[in-house]
């Protein structure tokens, strides 16, 4: 049975929401310090929701169980993933989106964010659903399903997508992130590429840029 998401409500009424997915082997608390480091303006009105991935065996890690949004079956020539588990994770995200809409938050004020494997899920969730989200944060991630997903896709609605990647990322090398960015840019989405002197992580400069992008997207 999966754990409930961690929810951090704003000081006052929530009128926006960020649904933020962690990476492989991490948990729902992973990005709480990043939210604190954003130092958002008082009365920002953003609810942060951190879902927890189920714990299950990961093939490339010798079947060792850990929190993961989808199993990775192989690394070469490209990442081979369990597409059924990916779809389950996409459904989890879209259910959370519907819950927020039921609570009165407009789609245009819902941001999907994900790090690494979590980023791959939010890219698929947004493109598959074709919903007009307020934006996407694709952090140190890639698009394992984009080639198939984009075959019949259009850039309607146009998504505003913040990409961030470490220049020394040895888990998901820069070309994997850049490929996802370039595919979506070529389709007509509003993409923003940022790379940093870091590995597979988040750095202070990136947090400054996330804050700037997020406050601009939500008019704070």
Active site residues: 116, 169, 200
Question: Hey, how many other C-beta atoms are within 10 angstroms of the C-beta on 17?
Answer: 28
| Residues 54 and 67: beta-carbon distance below 8 Å | yes
What are the backbone dihedrals phi and psi of residue 174, each rounded to the nearest 5 degrees, phi first?
-45, -45
Cα separations in angstroms, 102 against 42, 90, 98, 180: 25, 18, 6, 31
Contact (CB, 8 A) for 74 and 59: yes
Cα–Cα distance, 109 to 135 (Å, whole number): 8
Exposed/middle/buried for 138, CB within 10 Å: 0-12, 13-18, 19+?
Answer: buried
């Amino acid at each position: 049975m999966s754990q409930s998401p961690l929810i951090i409500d704003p000081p006052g009424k929530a009128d926006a929401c960020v649904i933020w997915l962690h990476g492989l082997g991490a948990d729902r608390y992973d990005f709480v310090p990043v939210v604190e480091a954003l130092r958002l303006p008082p009365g920002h009105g953003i609810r942060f929701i951190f879902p927890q991935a189920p714990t299950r065996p990961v093939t490339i890690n010798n079947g060792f169980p850990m929190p993961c949004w989808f199993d990775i079956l192989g690394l070469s020539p490209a990442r081979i993933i369990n597409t059924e588990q990916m779809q389950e994770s996409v459904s989890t995200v879209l259910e959370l989106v519907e819950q927020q809409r039921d609570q009165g938050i407009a789609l245009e004020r819902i941001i999907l964010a994900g790090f690494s494997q979590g980023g791959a899920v939010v890219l698929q969730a947004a493109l598959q659903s074709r919903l007009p989200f307020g934006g996407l944060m694709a952090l140190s991630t890639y698009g394992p399903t984009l080639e198939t997903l984009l075959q019949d896709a259009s850039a309607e609605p146009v998504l505003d997508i913040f990409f961030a990647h470490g220049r020394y990322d040895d888990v998901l090398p820069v070309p994997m992130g850049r490929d996802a960015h370039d595919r979506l840019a070529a389709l007509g989405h509003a993409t923003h590429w940022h790379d940093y002197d870091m590995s597979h992580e988040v750095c202070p400069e990136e947090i400054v840029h996330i804050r700037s992008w997020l406050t601009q997207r939500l008019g704070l």
